[in-house]
Amino acid sequence: MDLKLDHYTEGDTEIVVVEGEIDVYTAPRLRELLIDLVNKGNFHLVVNMEKVEFLDSTGLGVLVGGLKRVRAHDGTLDLVCTQERILKIFRITGLTKVFGIHETVQEAIDKRSSK
């Protein structure tokens, strides 16, 4: 399975849609997209991982790197994920305390807007 990436803007938030597997082979493409978005001034990101089928430590590293990058600009990086097998990875690694993890893109946007 390959990795499909797409993104669109909703208000002041850039939504990144990820589909497939985020692993050692595909994670660099996600890293490049996140860096490019931040370099273009997008500091509020939501990564929609609803169609992600696999996530390894390289993929986690890319997400953490993206979070550090937006936080350097007082930004946010939230995740949309309801799949138990992917959520389990975030729980085991303790990253549920680092990332905002939401059930829908709209919930992620509303949560940040209410802060």
Q: Residue 90: helix, strand or coil by DSSP?
A: helix
Kindly report the pTM of this predicted structure: 0.96
DSSP state of 33: H
The count of C-alpha atoms lying within 13 angstroms of the C-alpha of 10, restricted to the half-sphere facing its C-beta, is 16
CA 51-65-109 angle, to 5 degrees, is 55
Beta strands in the chain (DSSP E): 3-10, 13-22, 44-55, 76-80, 100-102
Q: Which residue has the higher pLDDT, 114 or 56?
A: 56
30-82: pLDDT as tens digits: 999 999 999 999 999 999 999 999 999 999 999 999 999 999 999 999 999 99
Residue 113 — pLDDT band, cuts 50, 70, 90?
A: confident
Q: Which CATH number fits domain 3-103: 3.40.50.300, 3.30.750.24, 3.40.190.10, 3.10.129.10?
A: 3.30.750.24
